[in-house]
């Protein structure tokens, strides 16, 4: 069973609509990005590491299953797909409650990369710090 994390919950407002009166997909994409980043930080921190600065590098397989309506309370659930050396990939399920039923309205996979500012500019960095080098202690005179 996947361990899901409720990263974001919000109510959709009239200002978020498109000309058809449903919620504009770009609003959902922005909130998916935020929820995925929150979920990624949670996944990293629960492993005992302070989360690095994460930037979005890709949104993959975005699927809009059903329209989101004004007044819908939208929940953004995340779960980990993969942690690499410098990247983390999160799956985000977007759900609403309608007539007592949970309805999946959108889902996406989002890839984030850990970065740091260096003299050469922003560069990818390992998400987890390298292990302490015991070799230097053994070699010391």
CA-to-CA distance for 120 and 103, rounded, in angstroms? 47
pTM of this prediction exceeds 0.95: no
Domains in the chain: ranges and CATH: 5-139 (3.10.129.10)
Tens-level pLDDT at each residue, the chain (141 residues):
689 999 999 999 999 999 999 999 999 999 999 999 999 999 999 999 888 999 999 999 999 999 999 999 999 999 999 999 999 999 999 999 999 999 999 999 999 999 998 888 899 999 988 776 654 444 444
Q: Concatenate the DSSP letters of all residues of 65-113 into one string.
A: -S---TT-EEEEEEEEEEE-SSEEEEEEEEEEEETTEEEEEEEEEEEEE
CA quadruple 11, 16, 22, 28: dihedral positive or negative? negative
């Amino acid at each position: 069973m996947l361990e899901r994390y409720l990263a974001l919950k919000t109510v959709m407002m009239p200002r978020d609509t498109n000309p058809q009166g449903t919620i504009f997909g770009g609003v959902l994409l922005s909130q998916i990005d935020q929820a995925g980043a929150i979920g990624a930080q949670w996944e990293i921190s629960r492993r005992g590491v302070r989360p690095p600065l994460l930037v979005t590098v890709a949104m993959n397989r975005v699927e809009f299953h059903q329209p989101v309506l004004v007044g819908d309370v939208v929940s953004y659930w995340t779960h980990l797909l993969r942690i690499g050396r410098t990247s983390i990939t999160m799956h985000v399920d977007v759900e609403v409650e309608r007539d007592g039923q949970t309805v999946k309205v959108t889902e996406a996979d989002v890839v984030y990369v850990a970065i740091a500012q260096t003299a050469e500019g922003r560069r990818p960095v390992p998400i987890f710090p390298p292990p302490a080098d015991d070799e230097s202690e053994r070699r010391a005179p």
